[in-house]
Structures are given as structure tokens and as C-alpha cells.
Amino acid sequence: MGTLGFGEAMVGALAAVKTPGRSGMARKEGARQPRSGAPHPTGAPVLRDSVEAGTFEHVFFVAPAKGETDRLLRAARRILDAGRQLRSEARRDRRELTPAERLLTSLTAASVRVFEEILTLARLNKGRVFPSYDHLTQATSLGRATVARALRILESIGFLVRQRRFKRVEGDGPGPRYEQTSNAYRAFLPKIVQAYLPRWMRPAPVPDDELQREADRIEAIEHMHARLPAHEQAKAALKGPLAKVLARLDAALERKERESQKEPQPLLDSFIKEIIGVGLAGQQRHSL
């Protein structure tokens, strides 16, 4: 289902999608009044960091490997037991828990039960997990507040990545209208818990030859970049919006340079025509 490096991979995919501002929402009579006293545009605000449903799921959801959901559930249950043991040892030895230990001791049985339901949905739906709170409360027989707290705990430890979503809805009046919809979830095995798992439950280490192959690949890329001209090195080093702007500028300059050529005819064609002309002139002189 993924590793903790997933957050870096998702930055580029989600950066281009923005939450709609209040200016893009239509007015509605009887809207809920915010603290400022001004009427809210829709009465159903879109939460911060929400992404429009249907625009990112193709890069967010990943089908779990065979047996992966079972391994994640076993790891969560192990951490639940480890957290209880840490609390017992801290009381017995009268010592302060480290920040990582306090985070692990926050895991509850309700959190593991909610995690189990999410993993079940991931296995059945090939990684596409976007249940509503109502579904989770009904499937786990837990209260809505308990489910919300369980999701926060799982997310803080790193077992879950949760992405808020909104959707467009039909409504009277001009302008688009939006409302919040169910969140999207993806399960992970966080690095913080691996030290508290038995060795047979930890991910297999990367082979030495694979590490050496990756190091050689990085070295070859750096050597290739070092041999590029200065402007090519700048383009290779830059990423993100600035790189796109420079690429468009470079393409415009090349197009302008091609248009400014006095002889747009390809060199090969002109050379062939010149040879044919010389040959015809020689044949005419020979016939005379």
C-alpha cells in the first residue's frame, strides 16, 4: 500500500488542484452565520486542504499486494500491545516516555477496529477506500466521535493518510456550488512502529546489490548533468512551476530563431538541387 515517502510523491499531484474559494460559491438564503457576522456563501463550507473528488484518486489509490492488509493489521495489533506495555513500564520505573513512545501509547482498541475496517475495504475494492463516517460507525459499532478520534490517532502515528474531498453540486443561481464529501484513505506501515515489531514482521531490508545499483545510477546521472552546457544544467536542476516557465521560454526562443532564418529550405534539398543543376548544365554543353 505504500511507505512514508508517499507524501513526497503526492505533492506534485495535489499541488495543481485547489480548494474553491468563497468567491466562487453561490449565495444561499438562510446561510449559517460565521463568527464575523457576515453570511456564509453556501452554509456548507469546504474544509481546508480539500481536493475535488475525481481529480487525484488515480494517483492516490494503490491496490494492496497479496497479504499486505493482513500484515498491516497484525502490526497495528502488536503496537497496541506494545503501547500497553510501555505505559506499564513507565509507571513501574517512574520514567518519562519519549515523544515516539507517547505517540504509540495513544493507539486504542477502537483505532485498531477502525483500521481493520479500512483494510477490509482496501482488500475488497483494490485500494479504493473512501467510506463515510456513517459507514464506519455502522461497520464498527462505534460512535461517530469515537470513529473521528480513531482516525486522528491512526493518521498521527502514520498508519493512514487521509485526504479530504469536496464535490460539485447542482443548485439555483449562477456560479458553481460545492459541498464536502467522504474522505479518501490509504494505509501504510509507518517507520516509527518498525522498531517495536518482531524481526519477522519488519519489511525485508534492501539487498546490497540493489543499493549499489541505485548509487551507480545516481552517479551516472550526476556525471551526465556535469557534461551538459550551462543552460542545460540549469534546466535539469530546476523543477516545478519555474522549470515549466523556462521550458516554454526556451521553446519560444527556438521557434523565433527558426523563423528568423533567411533560408528555411533544408540544407540537404538545396544541395541536391544544386548538384542536379550543375549536371544538367554539363549535359547541355556536351550536346553542343
Does residue 37 fall inside a structural domain? yes
Does residue 286 fall inside a structural domain? no
Residues 105 and 79 in one domain: yes
Does residue 285 fall inside a structural domain? no
> Which residues face 162 on adjacent strands?
185
Task: Give the pLDDT mean for 155-159.
Answer: 95
Q: List pLDDT tens digits, range 215-264.
A: 888 888 888 877 777 666 666 666 666 666 666 777 777 776 666 655 55
The three three-digit cell numbers of residue 29, written as one number: 438564503
Residues 147 and 238 in one domain: no
| For the chain, percent of residues with pLDDT exceeding 70 | 63
Does residue 194 fall inside a structural domain? yes
Q: In what order do the strands lie in the sheet with 177-187?
A: 51-52, 160-169, 177-187
Does residue 1 fall inside a structural domain? no
Residues 196 and 213 in one domain: no
List of E strands, the chain: 51-52, 160-169, 177-187
Hey, is 120 helix, strand or coil? helix
pLDDT: which is higher, 56 or 173: 56
pTM: 0.61
Cα Rg of the chain (Å, integer): 30
Task: Give the pLDDT mean for 62-67.
Answer: 93
Q: How many domains, in total, are found in the chain?
A: 2
Residues 132 and 236 in one domain: no
pLDDT: which is higher, 160 or 42: 160
Q: List pLDDT tens digits, range 169-182.
A: 887 776 668 889 99
The three three-digit cell numbers of residue 48, written as one number: 481546508
pLDDT: which is higher, 9 or 161: 161
Residues 195 and 221 in one domain: no
Residues 151 and 259 in one domain: no
The per-residue pLDDT for 260 is 60
| For the chain, percent of residues with pLDDT exceeding 90 | 43
Where among 201, 216, 245 does a domain terminate? 201
Where among 156, 172, 201 does a domain terminate? 201
Mean pLDDT estimate for the chain: 77
Can you state the angle between helices 144-157 and 109-124, rounded to 10 degrees? 80
200: confidence class by pLDDT, cuts 50, 70, 90: low
pLDDT: which is higher, 156 or 11: 156
